[in-house]
A and B are shown apart, each in its own frame.
Chain A
């Protein structure tokens, strides 16, 4: 066995003038082992010392006293009294026995090679985990040889190698495999990362942590730093897509600064706000206002037992976010960046040939009213046709998609530093995001900074602070960007949006709708910006007065401050055909300043005691706590007319009438909670929780307070003595049941969501003023009704699950089944219209069940030691059903139905028999008329098509599903399983090989169908509006027998765009969310630049989507800012 120990003394190494040996060495020791001397030499010089350990072992420690000696002189002194020789060759020092050395005096290169085989190099090192704790039992193997050892109790190891370039591999169950190239020093220090799939993993749970092994609830955890480090994730929620079973993320928009996803934990459990509670470092927060790169891990608490400690607000699941901390003895500086190009993932094809467009408009209107003069004269159509491809300024054929969307480079930079000693740990970061968006005037810039600090001030006291600041700025256009899609739909291809010289266009054709919109003109109709500032500061203290007891308290203050400034900009719109101003850009100048402020105060106190009893067979932990929270949200806005100069931007720069408005709202909550964890023999696990909450949103008394208990148990079968299944070393069974509450958690802000009503139980009066004698008189009216009975909605979740590891821990997985029933659902009931325009308060009215299965599997493998790969997937199936809802009553909102026995928002629609195309088809219509039932009041046959109009050729024939001989709303039937997906899944795969890493994430869902008809997708034409090219191509015309779409009609005629299965679209999709290729430079290269780790990567985000959905994006509802396809390139440096 060859080994070497650490040097006992420091040797000063100074650069020296000597050419032969550039360094001098000093050493003073009364007794030092030879191998330690050699080790020192290696450390202080660039030389490798080769020697035969067996021989060396026989020598006693030596006494050395050398000061500033050159290397050869130093060796002379050290070896003076020993039977050893040395030779220095290139950068190697060969130590040999004097007996053999003589014969080697004149060695040639061949014999030296022989010596190399005999003489080996010692490699030593230590292996620690991320906390800096030494790891024992780590297998250390030299790649390309049979050399191997394992670490001892202090994580140390030693290995002999005859190769001068050595790469070691480190592996330990529960940790990510690691490999390291040994530098010239022969000493390595390796940190192994805990692998996320393993049971030794510590999972963050509500108000504490838990070893995953001992979890009894259903918790999914995501190692977020892996996800976001190299993907263009600008918002954390969007980055979670496809990462965890039971968590469904829908990215409904790619709008800069607003590209967050909508999250659903185990489906839409309520008809109300179904957003999960997001807790960041212990405090409720907004996931999209946190720098994704700061996040260490995310836990998703899915069942009642896990979430109930958050009681009242956990009904939709809880997402716990932990930001990065510093680590003991690990000082790191990390810089990473990425650059990405973006383009809409899909666009809509509208008719861009203006001559065709005019004919189509004429055709549609003629179908509606054959008497009316055509809107566009044949002269104009001919004129445009004749000028096709000529002067595009005079005769444009504009495709708005080409004009509006632009390609821009978005960039992100992130710098973080972390480290710590035994007493203090710190993490700091700065991030910069600049996303110009794909539409002009939509730039979003975000600076974020964070400092996390924790200090053990006394052995019994830890104090800490997390401070996080975000400053963002968006163009004022961002505020109206959604309108782009409304306005672009209300536009025509006969308009130049912007001439090359920058002038904005109006319609060139005098017969066209002069009020048709020009989106670019709209976007530039306003200037200004939206500045958002946010500060989250949390201070905490942990007290450990006696062993096992800890008391923690924290106070958090969150402050959001938005300042919005904008002013109108007036631009002319031109008719480029006549080269005259069509609409003069004039108006009164004005300036608007708006301030939106939100304050959130949160404090909690927790006491925790853990100990063992009954011969240490029973371990228990008891936790009790209380928290309270106050939230205040307000805004005010002032505007003033007539700026003294349009370049000025504050109120004092305006001279005339001013207007102001503002409002405030608030809510508060107080909670008490407790938990007991019991473990017997570390095999039988039991956990019980109780939480009570009081909310200001409910009337004082019994409706204000809600109590939410839960219990869960687990059995680690594989820990039993009788258990003997070698291929499944780990097997656990879990079960839980409990209650959760919901008071209608609202996570948007008042100013941006006027539906927020914190006082629904109070009867309130709004200003409703009136005028008498040209004077204003105060008036009051209830514009919102109240419901004094409003109370908690409660969710009961029964969960069963197993966790397992197979085949020597290479395959890990879990399966959960659950039944989630939500009672007293707070629902916006559609009230009778006779109630009037007042908003309807929510009612505790319905009961919904979500039953489902979740599956999570991950496999890791290695081929030939250095090709490592993994494949994993998660899958969720949810069956949603309204169990109870006002008897047989139903709520119908458009095509969406809520009724007992059906999924939420099942589509309640007509069925389409066919598009009437031939005379034979028309016979069906005539038959219905001939066989029409008789109206008993009049004795005449009724008109079976009275409800929607008698269909003609080219119209849809709806089915008389109830067989009453009449086609009307009574023929609607329930179709599909609602607008939320039944199946969601994600698949990850990846490999790494010699510094190259590859990963791919696929995401998809299935089982949701929704009606889509809007201005971009309708067979109805409207003067001044776009026409869909696909519909135009497939429309019915006289003579057609295989039309795909009905005939064109004017927009006022709705007979063919009734909610029917004809317009029902399947929103199932599978999407290659991310493909990524990275390369990590070998340490030998990166070390030259004093960098520990260099990784370059490229990735494709959202690049391929497979779906039959015809709109922008199956994740986007209707037509609005689409999601982005991005091509990304980036760099990551660790110092």
Chain B
């Protein structure tokens, strides 16, 4: 009997079967997702979140290193592109392609899943409109980098087709048609604004602004003017965009939601809230919160290009005879000597700071200039720091140090001060919103479109709005230095204004490319320090005007033809 009892017990134990249908604990699966409006919203939020990836817009500021604005080192600072040694295998080239398409595929998936959902048509189209805007934004950006692209829309099912995504490249014109289609849909369906809680989502105005930019890049001046005027002149809606009173305030946590921000990546920080972007890490210095790296630095020629307050061109020789010609004079004027933190010789810093203060105010709002102060973070506390030009400077002495040992300006714009009263807990997650399109940019683009469309006076009006905000005298305002007579002179003015207004936002690379001026500012240009030391030689080749399609991608998809210049 006992035997059978045990047998029975044994079979009972076996009767309790372990379930073979296991589901994950931390993720939702497709059988329960995409049912409600909340799901659709969350799916679209997932698309937005990819904007912050380093290789989408997270390192947007670093593109300035490829222009006359900045210099940089290592992959994150585009060191290999500057040196001209980048190839179709370079990580920066490969990763930007990959992450860009990541956002595109997220949008495709969200659009495909939301379309059949049973939601109010209007709401549904807002969600789809947002996704299509984001898709257009990235396609536009990638086209400007790589040229023609393979097109993928919501008709693909990435879970089934991932191994077979092997479309050939569509022409740039076809990609632009695709982008226009998305933006047309966004314009038609997105609201002018959202309730306060949802500030930061894509609006109708943002879609107009982006479409205007697309048309501008494609030299469709009238179309560009039409889109820009729509929001500048509030033609069919009251969009409510305006320039902020204080330029510097736009790049702070307090001011980053002013009406000037047409579309900005929304950032946030704090312990456990890693929802920011890495401006501190790659634009800051060892004095910045968490000890950062200055992978991106403003160039000396950029610093020197800021006008004087009265709009006249700046020239060091006006202040120190022979400064431009003689590096010894520069060193006399600029360099301190110090021993273990004790400054033993300081140049005339009062004079230097007067020179800087007498410049376009955006200069000191954008750059930390020698002997100016910055609220750093050192030994776990806020600490006043000074940029001292000397060998062996160290934040432990209260000195800002360029970790290359180079004597350059460093960025002030976007670089957090102190720990932002606790808002900053991670140097890779700065809580300052990063603008992708702001009103000043739109005004300058409108000015450009007018100018190209032979409407010089209107162009000057729009550009002067931007100068006026920073108390800079307007063009053709009486000052002889600021006289503009023709389209070509105006182009120079627009170029300058975009450079100083948008520095640190990463758009000049794209401007120089479309103006075909990249070679002019890059070819064999030797970047120097403030005191004239040679830092790095830019190696420009014709092919650098366009990036190669990643070699790794062509290996998998031979239908992708490499750019002619890179064959």
A residues at B contact (CB < 8 Å): 368-373, 375, 460-461, 510-511, 513-515, 541, 543, 545, 551, 553, 555, 578-584, 586-588, 601, 603, 605, 626, 628-630, 634, 641, 656-660, 663-670, 694-696, 700, 704, 758-759, 762-782, 785-788, 829-838, 840, 843, 889-892, 935, 937-938, 942, 946-949, 969, 1023, 1050, 1052-1055
Contact = CB atoms under 8 A, between A and B. Distances in A.
Interface stretch (B181-189, B270-278, B489-497): B270-278
A774 B150 CA distance: 36
A713 to B, nearest CB: 33
Interface string B274-288: 010000000000100
Interface stretch (B227-235, B458-466, B529-537): B529-537
Contacts of A774: 266, 268
Contacts of A603: 13-14
A890 B555 CA distance: 8
Nearest to B151: A834
A766 B102 CA distance: 14
A780 B7 contact: no
Contacts of A1052: 79-80, 83, 85
A1021 B43 CA distance: 46
B293 interface: yes
A905 to B, nearest CB: 16
B22 A786 contact: no
A762 B30 contact: yes
Interface in B1-47: 3, 6-7, 10-11, 13-14, 17-30, 33, 39, 41-47
Contacts of B44: 779
28 contacts: A369-B83, A461-B3, A514-B405, A580-B340, A580-B394, A584-B378, A584-B395, A586-B379, A603-B13, A628-B14, A628-B18, A630-B19, A641-B271, A694-B20, A759-B24, A763-B29, A763-B30, A768-B46, A779-B42, A780-B33, A780-B43, A781-B46, A786-B159, A833-B553, A834-B105, A835-B102, A836-B99, A969-B555
B537 A369 contact: yes
B401 interface: yes
A1054 B87 contact: yes
B152 interface: yes
Nearest to B108: A836
B350 interface: no
A368 B83 contact: yes
B552 interface: yes
Nearest to B528: A373
Contact of B197 (A659, A772, A835): A772
Contact of B85 (A581, A695, A890, A1053): A1053
Contacts of B89: 1054
A765 B27 contact: yes
Given A371-B534, A510-B405, A785-B158, A835 B378 contact: no
A603 B9 CA distance: 13
A835 B101 contact: yes
B197 A775 contact: yes
Interface string B211-251: 00000000000000000000000000000000000000000
Contacts of B79: 1052
Contact of B27 (A670, A766, A772, A946): A766
A455 B49 CA distance: 63
Contacts of B273: 776
Contacts of B11: 605
Given A659-B272, A765-B27, A935-B567, A372 B537 contact: yes
Contact of A769 (B7, B43, B275, B555): B275
Interface residues of B, number: 112
Interface stretch (B198-206, B353-361, B500-508): B198-206
A764 B28 CA distance: 6
Nearest to A664: B25
Contacts, number: 312
A327 to B, nearest CB: 27
A1053 B27 CA distance: 43
A570 to B, nearest CB: 9
Contacts of B454: none
A659 B271 contact: yes
Interface stretch (B161-169, B303-311, B363-371): B161-169
A281 B158 CA distance: 44
Most A CB contacts (10 A, CB to CB) among B27, B89, B101, B197 go to B27
A830 B380 CA distance: 45
A511 B105 contact: no
A584 B553 contact: no
Nearest to A890: B555
A829 B164 CA distance: 11
Given A587-B380, A763-B159, A764-B30, A769 B166 contact: no
Contacts of B6: 461, 541, 543
A766 B106 CA distance: 12
A670 B20 contact: yes
A515 B45 contact: no
Among all A-B residue pairs, the 6 with the closest Cβ atoms: A836-B102, A779-B45, A781-B46, A657-B271, A510-B392, A763-B30
Nearest to B27: A764
A515 B403 contact: yes
A1023 B45 CA distance: 42
A837 B98 contact: yes
Given A665-B25, A832-B557, A833-B552, A949 B85 contact: yes
A583 B396 contact: yes
B50 A833 contact: no
B103 interface: yes
Contacts of B534: 371-373
Contacts of B340: 578-580
Contacts of B483: none
Contacts of A514: 286, 394, 401, 403, 405
A953 B141 CA distance: 39
Given A372-B537, A766-B27, A768-B46, A773 B198 contact: yes
B564 interface: yes
A658 B425 CA distance: 12
Contacts of B22: 666-668, 696, 758-759
A937 B564 contact: yes
A514 to B, nearest CB: 6
B556 interface: yes
A832 B49 contact: no
B69 to A, nearest CB: 20
B21 A700 contact: yes
Contacts of A946: 543, 566-567
Nearest to A463: B6
B165 A832 contact: yes
Contact of A668 (B20, B198, B380): B20
Nearest to B532: A373
Nearest to A660: B272
A780 B20 contact: no
Contacts of A776: 268, 273, 275
Contacts of A942: 567
Given A580-B396, A668-B18, A772-B266, A513 B403 contact: yes
A773 B197 CA distance: 6
Contact of B53 (A551, A780, A837): A837
A1052 B536 CA distance: 12
A533 to B, nearest CB: 23
Nearest to A642: B380
B533 A373 contact: yes
Nearest to A666: B22
Contacts of A768: 45-46, 49-50
Interface string B41-64: 111111111100100000000000
Nearest to B257: A773
B50 A781 contact: yes
B109 interface: yes
A371 B551 CA distance: 31
Contacts of A587: 380
B162 A831 contact: yes
B97 interface: yes
B420 to A, nearest CB: 13
